[in-house]
Amino acid sequence: MAERVFSVRRMPGFTPMAILVFVVLYAPIVILATYSFNAGTSLAIWEGFSLRWYASAWQDAEVQAATFRSFGIAAAAAMVSSILATMAAIATTRTAAFRGQTFVLAMINLPLMAPEIVTAIALLIVFALVKIATGYSGLGYIVLAHTAFCIPFAFLPIRGRLEDMDQALETAAADLYATPWRAFRYVTLPLLWPGILAGFMLAFVTSLDDVVITNLIAGPGQETLPIYMLGQLRRSTTPEINAVSTALLAISVLLVSLSFLLSREKE
Amino acid sequence: MKPMRLSLAAAAATLALVTAPGAPRAEGVLNIFNWGDYTSPELIKKFEAKYDVKVTITDYDSNDTAMAKVKAGGHGFDIVVPTSTVFAVWVKDGLLLESRPDQMENFKHMDPRWVDVPYDPGRHYSVPWQIGTTGVVVNTKVYQGDSATWGVVFDPPPELAGKINVAPEMNDILDSAIMYVGGQPCTDDKAVLKKARDVLLAAKPKWLSMNYASPDSYAKGDIAAGANCNGYTFRARLLNPDVHYAFPKEGFPIWMDNAAILKDAQNVENAKLFLNFIMDPENAAMLSAFARYANGIEGSEKYLPADMRDAPELNPPEGKGVFLHTCPPEVNEIMTRIWTEVQK
């Protein structure tokens, strides 16, 4: 009788419903990826298998420039946000509970909840003022904006890891006269490292995929790959855009999977 | 050690990125803010070589995005290319510089048809970039009758019933229906609007679809007629010569993207050079050869690729094209209601 617990899997219609949901979610992506291998120029008529659109995207100077820019911005934003997220995670798990801790946590995770377009418009207005005042118009604004919304994505796996770690090890280090810095450097950090890497990768993907905020704050010659792709949609859509989309999707899935594996890793 | 190397590399990347100037304020720079996939790279190379100016193209995907960024200020762009539908708003909001293209050297090449456009009479602000129309497409294998009328779409002959596609462009289609029943685009005459609505609702059951149908589907004959933009129809005809584009005699929507200089541009002189540059017929032809639409410059035909030179789709007849603009809110509200009904 013990196995007769309630299971959603035994509800009538569970399997067809699950299949329907997966088809609705993934069929468009499968079609997009399939046509990226089309030999013809059509998005609707299959003319045989070919890698020509991957080759043409690879050689497209604009795609190249936008890709390098995207990766640079993502690396910088993920780097800065993982450092800040690590500090925030330590401050919220390795200290005695303090007044307003819930509020601080909510503030850190706010970018997950705030509508992206609101953040985008706010940044557009503030950055415009700063640009006029300082005359600086480099990629720093995009890096700064991406860092801000990447922090919660880096924060969650890092904090998760810190909560799972055995605090006795850190206490033991302190007992053995390790300074707080040495305890952190030789005990906490090595144990925390998979969490930081997982956070870094999530932040990286989040920055790489961003459209709304980047679209509004990018200045002259600062197109990232998603913004470039958006611009291509107005006129002739060739399978090259499918190829670029599929490649971007593959990179995102790879990084998210790596992040997941790392955050599961014990020891 | 590995983590250390990773963080060093990322730190270096951060530093390099943040210090890299996005838009140098030096001499010899021009920042163009334009629709994506719309600017001929060869044309830009030619301009850069001729004037020793470094040009940066940045894409946008809608008039709204472009306007939002420009209005915020500090954007760093010099030239923007708004569509005729919204151009008047850019002027009214004081976003554009009155750069007087009409006094520039190459203005003599401008087709007189496009000088006194309603949104920039006399061309004090802008130079045509590309021009397109929405008209009637028929497959001449299926239908041999008169195609130069909206009747093909709004009161389809029996042989076309169930084979028609209509591009889902609210303003283009509704204003065309209004012109078909004898009204003016954006009319506030309720009787005319009601007539247009009745025509659309009666025609709808005879349509196959309301999509941005690909040139392929017209070329393959899946669709035998439709309301479509000229650029797509031109590409469909290159695939299948039976595809015919007609400019309806009742009047047809016409749009134009226009290059203009921003009021807070940093590189005004270079921007003026560029506006003058694209009025040169040979250069205007380069624009068209890339974007595949007509330009507004006389004498550019002879520089066009052979397949475009005599393309009837790209040469609207004089006088019947109507520049659409956003209708007044009260009219727009009625039109939106009609459109919702049509799309049901």
Asked if residue B228 has pLDDT above 50, the reply is yes
**Using 50, 70 and 90 to split pLDDT, how confident is the model at B37?**
confident
All residues at 6 or more sequence positions from A186 whose CB lies less than 8 Å from its CB, including other chains: A173, A178
In this prediction, residues B243-264 reach a mean pLDDT of 95
Is B11 at the interface with chain A, CB within 8 A? yes
Least confident of A103-107, A237-241, B305-309: A237-241
- β-strand B126-139 against B243-246: which pairing, if any? antiparallel
Instruction: Compare CB distances from A235 to B37, B72, B76 and report the shortest one's residue.
Output: B37
Task: Find chain B residues with C-beta within 8 A of A80's C-beta.
Answer: 14
Q: What are the structure tokens assigned to A170, written together?
A: 């850190």
A45 occurs within a structural domain: no
Least confident of A133-142, B46-55, B258-267, B281-290: A133-142
Least confident of A179-183, B250-254, B325-329: B325-329
Integer Cα distance of A199 and A193 in angstroms: 10
The phi, psi pair for B301, rounded to 5°, reads: -55, -45
Instruction: Compare CB distances from B73 to A128, A220, A231 and report the shortest one's residue.
Output: A128
Residues B334, B183 contacting (CB under 8 angstroms): no
Interface contact A143-B14, CB threshold 8 A? yes
Q: What is the pLDDT of residue A3?
A: 58
Is A134 at the interface with chain B, CB within 8 A? no
Q: Complex ipTM above 0.85?
A: no
A151 occurs within a structural domain: yes
A170 occurs within a structural domain: yes
Percent of chain B scoring above 70 in pLDDT? 92
Interface contact B38-A235, CB threshold 8 A? yes
Instruction: Compare CB distances from B68 to A80, A140, A216 and report the shortest one's residue.
Output: A216
A241 occurs within a structural domain: yes
Asked if residue A1 has pLDDT above 70, the reply is no
A1 occurs within a structural domain: no
Is A216 at the interface with chain B, CB within 8 A? yes
Q: What is the pLDDT of residue A46?
A: 84
**Using 50, 70 and 90 to split pLDDT, how confident is the model at B286?**
very high
Task: Find chain B residues with C-beta within 8 A of A76's C-beta.
Answer: 10, 13-14, 17-18
Instruction: Encode pLDDT of B75-105 as tens digits.
Output: 999 999 999 989 999 999 999 999 999 999 9
Count residue pairs from A and B with Cβ separation < 8 A: 131
Instruction: Encode pLDDT of A152-195 as tens digits.
Output: 999 999 999 999 888 888 889 889 998 989 988 999 999 999 99
Task: Find chain B residues with C-beta within 8 A of A233's C-beta.
Answer: 36, 61
Least confident of A2-16, A74-88, A220-234, B136-150: A2-16
What domain count does chain A have? 1
Task: Find chain A residues with C-beta within 8 A of B21's C-beta.
Answer: 137-138
A82 occurs within a structural domain: yes
Q: What is the pLDDT of residue A47?
A: 83
Residue A73 belongs to domain spanning: 61-264
Sign of CA dihedral B315, B317, B319, B323: negative
B77 exposure class (CB count in 10 Å sphere: 0-12, 13-18, 19+): buried
In this prediction, residues B189-193 reach a mean pLDDT of 94
A259 occurs within a structural domain: yes
Interface contact B59-A129, CB threshold 8 A? no
A17 CA: distance to closest CA in chain B (Å) = 27
Integer Cα distance of B237 and B141 in angstroms: 13
Q: What is the pLDDT of residue B3?
A: 45
Is B58 at the interface with chain A, CB within 8 A? yes
A229 occurs within a structural domain: yes
Q: Domains in chain B and their CATH numbers?
A: 26-131+256-309 (3.40.190.10), 132-254+315-343 (3.40.190.10)
Asked if residue B134 has pLDDT above 80, the reply is yes
Residues 277-296 of B with CB under 8 A from A: 291-292
Interior/surface letters A179-190, b for 16+ CB within 10 angstroms, e for the rest: eeeebbeebbee
Interface contact A72-B61, CB threshold 8 A? no
Asked if residue B26 has pLDDT above 80, the reply is no
Instruction: Compare CB distances from B14 to A43, A79, A235 and report the shortest one's residue.
Output: A79
Asked if residue A30 has pLDDT above 80, the reply is yes
Q: Specify the CATH number for the domain of residue A156.
A: 1.10.3720.10
- β-strand B225-229 against B164-166: which pairing, if any? parallel
Distance of alpha carbon B176 from the chain centroid: 17
